[in-house]
Structure 1
Amino acid sequence: MIIYFVLGSALLISLLTDIKYRKILNIVTFPAIFFGFIYYTSKWGWEGFLFSGKGFLLGFSLLLIPYLLGGMGAGDVKLMAAIGSLMGATFVLNSFVYIALIGGLISAILIMKKYGVVYSLKSFWFQIFFLRGNLGSIFFSKDKSSSISFPYGVAIVLGTLCTFVWGSFI
């Protein structure tokens, strides 16, 4: 189907640009979002518009808070909205579970690579048991030089592919 071609193209281009330039381009996400709305509206009318709209809103809202807290870029949010617009709310929610797991795994690997396994585990358990500082300091570092980042588009693409391969997580 054409919807899979559009989604696959958007994911592939976003993966490549996010790895190379650390950007997910509007020229990729916006047409994908609009295509989802137009495709489903022309196919199913008002019901199709609602199908695409619910997926868009859910995909957008899932990553909105991490974006507002500075944890990821706006392109990641728009890519999730595009996935929702193209595939619907159920698909984007299932993808999000895989995306979160893959993103967490990548983050843990990068933290252990940077600081070492023993230091990372000691720091993690210290934070859990003593809750040093406020709760937000566990998740968000105030010192930008000590923060670790990676192109989250990689996790989004892999999580979406996992949903295609293995289906629903929930």
Structure 2
Amino acid sequence: MVIKVILLTILSISIITDLKERKILNSVTLPSILFAFIYFLSINGLEGFIFSGKGFLIGLGLLIIPYIMGGMGAGDVKLMAAIGALMGASFVFYSFIYTALIGGVIALALIIKQRGFINSLKSFFYSIIFLRSDLGSILIPKEKHSSISFPYGVAIVLGTLCTLVWGGF
């Protein structure tokens, strides 16, 4: 019960700060991770520490590559690691799956909203119909257009809440 209260607290704070400031605060994630390790160590000994550690490493590992590639901020990675440390490896894995699905839906909605998706489809079909030779330029644009970004913490929070409500698959 204590763990779920802490989880809901860090999720609430994180979604607010991510929407307002585009940041997930270290002062929220790092104490949560530390608390999870100490709590599970004191309750279940070494097994509890390993439970929390596995969740932490899975949560960290799932988002570290997108972070390294510049696709998300470090706060998102630390939030997922905190979720893993609090709830365990399988929970954070299912949260990641829900998060990825929700993040994809949000990204698609933003693309459609900015009409980038419709214009890309028009350009693609125009190239096929009229057999333009620069078909590859649709897939690999020569000019860099403005990128679409959104606070991914929103997807993380919603994905975690889905796991809390519905569990795994």
Structure 2 counterpart of 1:67: 67
For 1:26, the aligned partner's letter is N
**Residues 1:132 and 2:136 are matched in the alignment:** yes
CA–CA distance in 1 between the matches of 2:3 and 2:19? 24
Superposed CA RMSD in Å reads 2.3
Change (3 A) 1:47 1:56: same
Cα deviation, residue 166, structure 1 = 1.0
Q: TM-score under structure 1 normalisation? A: 0.87
Change (3 A) 1:31 1:142: farther
Larger radius of gyration: 2
CA–CA distance in 1 between the matches of 2:117 and 2:52? 43
Q: Counterparts of 1:4-153 in structure 2 under 5 Å? A: 4-115=4-115, 117-122=117-122, 132=136, 143=144, 146-153=146-153
Cα deviation, residue 118, structure 1 = 2.4
Structure 1 counterpart of 2:165: 165
Contact persistence 1:52–1:85 (CA under 8 A):
yes
Change (3 A) 1:117 1:51: same
CA–CA distance in 2 between the matches of 1:142 and 1:75? 30
Structure 1 counterpart of 2:130: none
Q: TM-score under structure 2 normalisation? A: 0.87
Judge which range, 23-32 or 110-119, deviates more. 110-119
1:16-58 per-residue CA deviation (whole Å, 9 max, x = no partner) reads 0000000000000001101111111111000000000000000
Name stretches of at least 5 consecutive residues in structure 1 with no aligned partner. none
Change (3 A) 1:124 1:160: farther
* Structure 2 residue matching 1:159: 3-state secondary structure: helix
